[in-house]
Structure 1
Amino acid sequence: MRSLEETAEYPGRGLAIGRDADGVPFFTYWLTGRSPASQSRELVVHDRELIVRDTSGGPADDLRHYTAATRGDDWVIVGNGTQVSDLTALRPQQPDLQLALRQITYEPDPPIRTPRITATATITGPELTEAVIGSARPYDGAPDLTEHPSLYAARIAPGTALTTTTYSGTTTTITPNGLPRTVAIPGPWTSITETLWTALAPSLRVAIITVPLDQPTFSAAKPHIQHR
């Protein structure tokens, strides 16, 4: 099984949700960027929300500034765009993320067509159950169409996470990804942020956060966060 830090040169945005080697539930979310606008962002932690915020003083842009994670008493949703807020509002009527994702398309940024990546799980003490990670991505060979690959786990075992990234190529050949996979988490959640940050190209790093989910709020969990 591959490890979390085995990633592409330019992964764009990425997320992982799982349990560390000690069984602690967590999610990790990271940002990379090529342009000054993409690099002028920070992660802001609130009790029930994680916000991607502009630091340049420029205008708001829904493709770069959004709510990246929300949580309730026993659930969490993580993703790379405005779909996180949409899915949070929809959750009382449609809690099944695999079905809800079918109403979403990739980002309106041709010719790249960046996938919208999202993950969710139910939190029960140290357990993560009903975990889903998936995306809305351009269909290979017919990019005007959207496909919705997803991965479901009734229960995530210790030392395991579900993960995906928006891209899988390089800065000169950007390849849409959004394909979910399972990875090994060999150590504690406290090591994930630094390990993955080190694995990312220094010129592309923007921000990364790892949030344990064994506390009632994001801020109470004292997440580990890095910014450029």
Structure 2
Amino acid sequence: MNGLNEVLADNHYPGRGVLWCRTGDGDTLGAYFLTGRSRASQARALRRTPESELIVAPSEARAHDHLRHYVAARQSGRWLVFGNGEQVATVAERLDSGLVPALALDGLDYEPDPPIFTPRLTVVADGRDAGQAWFGAARHSSGTRTATNRLTLQVSGLAPGEGVLMSTYRSDGHAVATGEPLAEVRIAAGNRSGLLEELWTSLPLQLRIAAAVFSPGGLAEADIRQAAPAQS
């Protein structure tokens, strides 16, 4: 198991990512991050709404882009839902209707952005059992098949210093490809503020947009770090 900083430092373009982990003090936390290469991607901010959601929004008012602007985290009753696209709201609504996490994550598709077909990554964390979470990934086949590959992973019993990470992309500095399905990582941070620092400093400096750390039931108190937004 490699450290979070090693895994991210080895990836020249991780895109967007979700993390579920336990810090050294025993706190179980979720995290979300954005990196971007284009001016349109970098002209975004991670904001807290009056409803205590976290949204990815344009840094300047303009028409909504459903692939770039979305609810990134929402508390839905006992469930904390976070991820990299509009599916977060869909999954939260399904949970509100009574579906269990595995079914709420079912039926999602990857993003319609050829040629890379960005995966949809979603985490559902249980506020009544702080150690338990479900990851959902909707991914394009590595071949020519267009049907969505859907991965659902239940994570529980993390020890302090353990985490699970998913990112949308993988790059060696030249080519960009869909990220690996998941990575189990070591967390060096001893507490919540340390986790945000560890995550932020592990992201590629020139591509950083925003990162947030939060706990189930505590989305209103999410810690957010962001770069000065680029002007579109």
With normalisation by structure 1, the TM-score equals 0.88
**Residue of structure 2 in register with 1:174 after alignment:** 176
**Secondary structure at the counterpart of residue 85 of structure 1:** helix
Residue 166 of structure 2: which of 164, 167, 176 is its match?
Answer: 164
Q: CA deviation at 1:170?
A: 4.3
Corresponding residue of 1:112: 116
Task: Tell me, yes or no, if structure 1 residue 4 matches structure 2 residue 7.
Answer: no
Q: What is the one-letter code of the residue matched to 1:31?
A: L
* Contact 2:31 2:213 (C-alpha < 8 Å) held by counterparts: yes
Structure 1 position 217 matched with structure 2 position 221: no
Paired residue secondary structure (1:203): helix
Distance 1:181 1:88 in 2: 25
Question: Please, what is the CA RMSD of the aligned residues?
Answer: 2.0
Residue 171 of structure 1 deviates from its aligned partner by: 5.6
- Give the match's secondary structure for 1:195: helix
Question: What corresponds to 1:147 in structure 2?
Answer: 149
Asked whether the 8 Å contact 1:150–1:179 carries over to 2, the reply is no
Task: Report the Cα distance in structure 2 between the residues aligned to 1:97 and 1:178, rounded to whole angstroms.
Answer: 22
> Partner amino acid for 1:124?
R
Query: What secondary structure does 1:182 align onto?
Result: strand
Q: 1:109 to 1:42 in 2, by over 3 A?
A: same
In the alignment, the residues of structure 2 paired with residue 186 and residue 71 of structure 1 have an alpha-carbon distance, to the nearest angstrom, of 27
Unaligned runs of 5+ in 2: none
Q: Is the 8 A contact 1:48 1:72 kept in 2?
A: no
Q: Structure 1's 172 and 137: CA in aligned 2 closer, same or farther, altered over 3 A?
A: same
Report the more deviating stretch, 82-91 or 155-164: 155-164
Q: Give the aligned partner of residue 203 of structure 1.
A: 206
Distance in 2, Cα, partners of 1:67 & 1:96: 20
Q: Does 1:45 align with 2:22?
A: no
Q: Distance in 2 between matches of 1:116 and 1:29?
A: 13
Aligned equivalent of 1:54? 58
Are 1:25 and 2:25 an aligned pair?
no
CA contact (8 A) 1:117 1:134 kept: yes
For 2:196 and 2:48, locate their aligned partners in 1 and report how far apart those are by CA, in whole Å.
15
Q: Percent identity?
A: 34
Inter-partner Cα distance in structure 1 for 2:104 and 2:79:
16
What runs of 5+ residues in structure 1 fail to find an aligned partner? none
1:84 aligns with 2:85: no
Asked if 1:66 corresponds to 2:70, the answer is: yes
Residues 4, 202 of structure 2: 8 Å contact kept: no
Q: Which residue identity lines up with residue 150 of structure 1 in the other structure?
A: T
SS at match of 2:148: strand
- CA distance in structure 1 between the aligned counterparts of 2:35 and 2:187, rounded to whole angstroms: 21
SS of residue matched to 1:190: helix
Q: State the one-letter code of the partner of 2:142.
A: D
TM-score when normalising by structure 2: 0.87
Paired residue total: 223
Contact 1:193–1:226 (Cα < 8 Å) also in 2: no
User: What one-letter code is carried by the residue in structure 1 that aligns with 2:43?
Assistant: S
Q: Look up the match of 2:139.
A: 137
